[in-house]
Amino acid sequence: MAKLSRVMFLLLCHITSLAKQIVFHTDAKRIDVMIRGLDDAALNPASSRARRLLARTARRARLLLRGYAGCAVLTCTLWIVFPVATRASGRHVEFPFWTGLDTHPPTIFSLVLLYSYYVTTLVGIANTTMDAFVATILYQCKTQLEILRMNLENIIERTRDEVKETGEDEEKVFMRLFVQCLQHYDKVHQTAKLLQDIFGIPILIQFGIGGWILCMAAYKLVSLNVVSIEFTSMTLFILCILTELFLYCYYGNELTVESEQIAGAAYAARWAGAGVRVRRSLLLLMVRARRPLRPAAGLVVALSLDTFLKIIKSSYTFYAVLRQTK
């Protein structure tokens, strides 16, 4: 069972990586459309506060990618340390994959070890990069809704300021700003829907397999010496898998929470003294925003913190069953 767990969590990581790579290859055109859509004028307001929020999103996304990918590379690097230490102590090294080669000769052992490091690192970087990409799009949608909420709350004040500067009709100015907010909301909604249509199935596969990966890794972890390098590497691996699942659930949950506040932002606008057309427009937006964005994996599993907890509980259940069958 220990050998099986060692093989399975690596195999399952390869499967999730391939599932996402297939989508990136087959849906490349729609992904390009989604990325180009982020440059749309509706998603890039001219206000300084909006630009600061967008810059903060880009900065945090960059740090997320570097830290996440760095943790994966460090884990794979540690995985080549303990085979070397095991061989140096005179014991036989058994790799978790079939090669058909005799690894006793130093040259063959070195080549197989380097091959193992190359493949695992490549899969680690691929997984972390694709996960960070999806999380960044979700984070971008959340930031866009935050900007929209800010614009809706101040739409009456912005209307009156513009009327003072231009002398235009107040209702005409309001409708122009309101249409901009409506287009902004539609664009965010389209981006979130396109992301779900493209990556819904791979994320669902990730959730389904992620629990088994955690289960197998935990089963392997409890059999290791706490002060060993292998224990450290396995702990980092589990941390990477937890981060992988948490990213989708956290940013999906943040998008839903921010979307739920749009109707409240429209209500918070100082509409009491505004005209009938202004109040009617805000009311229509509030009715439309009553159904918040709820990104889901395969239209089945919601991207939420509650889903993350369910995956953790399921993983522990699988682990407990395996321990009882030992």
For residue range 26-65, what is the model confidence (pLDDT) as tens digits?
A: 999 999 999 998 888 778 877 888 889 999 999 999 999 9
In this predicted structure, the answer to whether residue 76 has a pLDDT above a threshold of 90 is: no
In this predicted structure, the answer to whether residue 199 has a pLDDT above a threshold of 90 is: yes
How far is the C-alpha of 58 from the C-alpha of 120, rounded, in Å?
A: 28
What per-residue confidence (pLDDT) applies to 20?
93
How far is the C-alpha of 10 from the C-alpha of 29, rounded, in Å?
A: 30
What are the CA-CA distances from residue 132 to residues 58, 121, 128, 195 (Å)? 12, 16, 6, 13
Query: Which amino acid, 40?
Result: D
What per-residue confidence (pLDDT) applies to 326?
57
What per-residue confidence (pLDDT) applies to 208?
86
- Per-residue pLDDT, averaged over 239-262, amounts to 92
In this predicted structure, the answer to whether residue 259 has a pLDDT above a threshold of 90 is: yes
**Comparing C-alpha atoms, which of 60, 73, 72, 65 is closest to residue 240?**
72
Of residues 125 and 8, the one with the higher pLDDT is 125
User: Residue 10's pLDDT band (boundaries 50, 70, 90)?
Assistant: confident
Backbone angles phi, psi at 149, to 5 degrees: -60, -40
**Beta-strand pair 301-302/296-297:** antiparallel
What per-residue confidence (pLDDT) applies to 325?
67
